[in-house]
Amino acid sequence: MQSWFIPVGLYCERIDTSFWGEPVNAITNIAFWLAGWLIWRQPHRQARLLGGLIAAVGLGSFLFHTFANALTGLLDVLAIAAYLLTYAWLWPRLAHASPRSVQAASLTGLLVAIAFASVLTRIVLVDWPLPPGSYLGAWFYLLVIATLASRQSHAGVRWLWLAAVLFVFSMTARELDVPLCQTMGGTHWLWHLLNAAVLYFSAKAILSTPQRT
């Protein structure tokens, strides 16, 4: 178990193993808490669930960028996974009043997209420091539901496409953190700001749907 607490340094900004070894990366997680709070306040029965999950993403990321070890890294991943899986489960029911079988298919589709993208990026980007993997899979899933929502003129489609476009820029910021470290400094903080907006807009898309039991 001791290996769970060995300090790690994955990002450009980390200067030492202290709590504030990544000050900007840590502080910019405020964006997730702000996004979570704004969603929490929305008049929809699922607003508190989604808002709480977004805030949890910020907490997991904050812990990872302050304590920076395998355990906090796992908490960071689990918080993101909780939001993605919950979203994939809720979207068909809230957006289209679909039965549980379609919800299960949506969840399966997300998992397949993540697995495919993870394998693909490991093959193509062998020596890349932080391959996009699961995030690219989540983007594939987002593109699919945004396309389907466009065909059905869904009320939240504009929020979905805005999230999809921003996600490209947020992933780019994440991927360039290490490559641009020596020339421009880290860009992981920008990933936080943009990704908080991505989660906010994706949640807004669900909250644009009629409330269902």
Q: How many helices (H) and strands (E) does the chain have?
A: 9, 0
pLDDT given at position 211: 63
Query: 7 pairs with which residues across the strands?
Result: 69
Whether residue 27 lies inside any domain: the answer is yes
pLDDT given at position 128: 81
Whether residue 59 lies inside any domain: the answer is yes
d(CA 134, CA 117): 6
Quote the number of domains for the chain.
Answer: 1
For residue 109, what are its two tokens? Answer: 């589709």
pLDDT given at position 184: 85
pLDDT given at position 130: 82
Q: Please identify every stretch of the chain with a pLDDT value under 50, giving residue numbers as ranges.
A: 1, 213
Look-up of token digits 């898309």? 205
pLDDT given at position 158: 95
How many degrees, rounded to 5, is the angle at CA 145 between CA 144 and CA 147? 65
Whether residue 12 lies inside any domain: the answer is no
pLDDT given at position 210: 67
Whether residue 212 lies inside any domain: the answer is no
User: Helix or strand or coil: residue 157?
Assistant: helix
For 61, 122, 182, the CA distances from 53, given in Å and listed in that order, are: 12, 28, 34
Whether residue 162 lies inside any domain: the answer is yes
pLDDT given at position 2: 57
pLDDT given at position 139: 97
Whether residue 88 lies inside any domain: the answer is yes
Side chain identity at residue 39, one-letter code: I
Q: What is the domain extent for residue 109? A: 19-207
Whether residue 213 lies inside any domain: the answer is no
